[in-house]
Amino acid sequence: MSENFDRRLTPARPEVAAAYLKGRVTAERYVEGVVMEVRDCVVDLRREPRPDAAVDTQALHGERVTVYDEEEGWAWAQLARDNYVGWIAANTLWRELSAPTHRVCAPRTFIYPGPNIKLPPLNALPLGAEVAIAEERNGFGVTPELGFIFRKHLVPRDATAPDFVAVAETLLGAPYLWGGKSWLGVDCSGLVQVSLLMAGIKAPRDTDMQEAALGAPLAPGAPLMRGDIVFWKGHVGVMRDAATLLHANATHMQVTSEPLDVVRARNEAAGAGPVTSVKRLPMEGSRAT
């Protein structure tokens, strides 16, 4: 008999499962999986191997994934950063693994064909994307496989932002997108996850996972402070100060900043229910890799 697992985090289907799950789940075959790397700037991870299937989350350039199965141009894979499982377009992955040295620290940064901002950009990378910088030239970081990136938009991969809320604030105004994790579109838990990543703190992907894993709960009515994380069923936001919430939301269809009391009243009036918990992170979180 198979154990009960969260399908979002478990590489197991009736047809195939990860080899380490043998004896714990039932599948027709078990495979070790192949570690690959995201080569596109932002890649959707879908629930089914179809271009019109629901997007559960996204992977960013430089992320590692373990591929367990392929089907008609789709790779069934598990993300290394947060263990999420789903289907990724196979042509967005490559087998040749790089050795990332830096992360993008700007909301979005262009890739140029040369060290000149007047050149037409080749592409753009999102906050949190990882790249291997071979050298620096004229204020640009040079990546052999991509091109030239404005150096001030990069930080060493092991650098940690001192204030994850300040990172989240750089995404103010970004459009709301279910499953999104970039300036082009981000959802509430994606905003929290990518901001914490830049501060060196590991965070799960979805709201329920974050509520279970992050920080220590505050007593009801306790004074709030910058960095406190407020949860509803299916929603999450971050306090900018004792009274102001920053969150990606479908009401405004973007990342907004507004009084917590306004959000609380609106959610209750809409039937979304009350705040389920407020969590406060320790001074030192577990470090992201």
CATH pick for 102-156 out of 2.30.30, 2.40.400, 2.40.10, 1.20.120: 2.30.30
Q: Please report the pLDDT score of residue 144 as a whole number.
A: 87
1 pLDDT tier (thresholds 50, 70, 90): very low
Q: Please report the pLDDT score of residue 288 as a whole number.
A: 47
pLDDT digits (tens, 9 = 90+) for 60-105: 999 999 999 999 999 999 999 999 999 999 999 999 999 999 999 9
Residue 285 in this model has a pLDDT that exceeds 50? no
Q: Residue 172: what residue type?
A: L
193 pLDDT tier (thresholds 50, 70, 90): very high
The CATH code belonging to domain 164-280 is: 3.90.1720.10
Side-chain half-sphere CA neighbours of 114 within 13 A = 4
Taking alpha carbons only, the member of 193, 287, 201 closest to residue 236 is 193
Two tokens at 104?
A: 């993008």
Domain locations in the chain as residue ranges? 16-94, 102-156, 164-280
Residue whose structure tokens are 């087998």? 95
Q: 93-94 and 34-38: which strand pairing?
A: antiparallel
The C-alpha atoms of residue 117 and residue 166 are separated, in whole angstroms, by 26
Looking at 71-215, list the stretches that DSSP marks H as alpha helix, in order from N- to C-terminal side: 164-169, 188-198, 207-213
SS3 (DSSP) at 168: helix
Q: Is the whole-model pTM more than 0.75?
A: yes
Residue 284 in this model has a pLDDT that exceeds 80? no
Across 179-185, average pLDDT: 97
4 pLDDT tier (thresholds 50, 70, 90): confident
44 pLDDT tier (thresholds 50, 70, 90): very high
Taking alpha carbons only, the member of 179, 99, 188, 90 closest to residue 144 is 99
Two tokens at 226?
A: 């910058």
Q: Please report the pLDDT score of residue 3 as a whole number.
A: 67
Q: Mean pLDDT across the chain, nearest whole number? A: 95
**Residues 6+ positions from 220 with CB-CB distance below 8 Å:** none
The C-alpha atoms of residue 267 and residue 261 are separated, in whole angstroms, by 10
What superfamily in CATH does domain 16-94 come from?
SH3 Domains (2.30.30.40)
The residue with greater pLDDT, 195 or 145, is 195
DSSP state of 288: P
Whether 164-280 and 102-156 are alike in CATH topology: the answer is: no
Q: Please report the pLDDT score of residue 283 as a whole number.
A: 67
